[in-house]
Amino acid sequence: MFTHEHAFTISLSLFFPFPLRYEVTVLVRDASRLPKDTTPHHVIVGDVLKKEDVDKAVKGQDGVIVVLGTRNDTSPTTALSDGLKNILQSMSDHGVKRISACVSSFLFWERAKVPPKFVPLTEDHERMYEALKACDREWVAIFPPHIADEPARGGYKMVNDAPVGRAISKFDLAEILVNALTMDEHIGHSVGIGYPSA
């Protein structure tokens, strides 16, 4: 189950890397933003900030993938963490155990080293991460470095609780978020991702 809130271009690449392996339900604010060459099994138009919309998307799912964002708005917000809290509550209500969530890799950095314009948004990502750590679900927090609009490269590394690399293809990130749902070794961890140095 993919949950998408008006965000990241990465989300648009997420929906169909594995059309034959999974039945995908997508929660979107605007269905017209879905890629034209993709056909989700189920599209729910709604808002992650409305619990009733989230319930429609989560009920009956085996797992949840969360990619929330604010497009180019870096101003202070609680929309991401509030949306994630709705998702976690809905998962608990409907007995859905597994979740992988995309969270900013700035959380690996000392806060003083985060570029000032990204600090308010990073603070909401911190709230997202705290919500995951406090929940009773089986969670994985994927901390991508720069998300590159380039083809999948493969050969990436996933390391618990440490940063890896400086960039990741949005398609490789999509694969990682999906695969993380079935990788027990990453449950309960922040996961750094990237490509090994040459």
CA distances, 111 to each of 69, 75, 106, 122 (Å): 20, 16, 8, 9
DSSP-H helix ranges across 95-184: 119-134, 170-179
pLDDT at 104: 96
Q: Give per-residue pLDDT as tens, 67-121.
A: 998 888 999 999 999 999 999 999 999 999 999 999 999 999 999 999 999 999 9
> 62 in helix, strand or coil?
coil
- Name the packing angle between helices 119-134 and 79-94 (round to 10°): 20
Total structural domains in the chain? Answer: 1
- Report whether 135 contacts 183 (CB < 8 A): no
Q: CA 182 to CA 53: how far, in whole Å?
A: 26
Q: CA 175 to CA 59: how far, in whole Å?
A: 23
- Report whether 10 contacts 102 (CB < 8 A): yes
Q: Give per-residue pLDDT as tens, 19-48.
A: 457 788 889 888 888 777 677 788 899 999
Q: Which domain holds residue 45?
A: 2-194
DSSP-H helix ranges across the chain: 9-14, 51-58, 79-94, 119-134, 170-179
CATH number at residue 42: 3.40.50.720
Expressed in angstroms, the distance from the first to the final Cα of the chain is: 35
Q: Give per-residue pLDDT as tens, 172-190.
A: 998 999 999 999 999 999 9
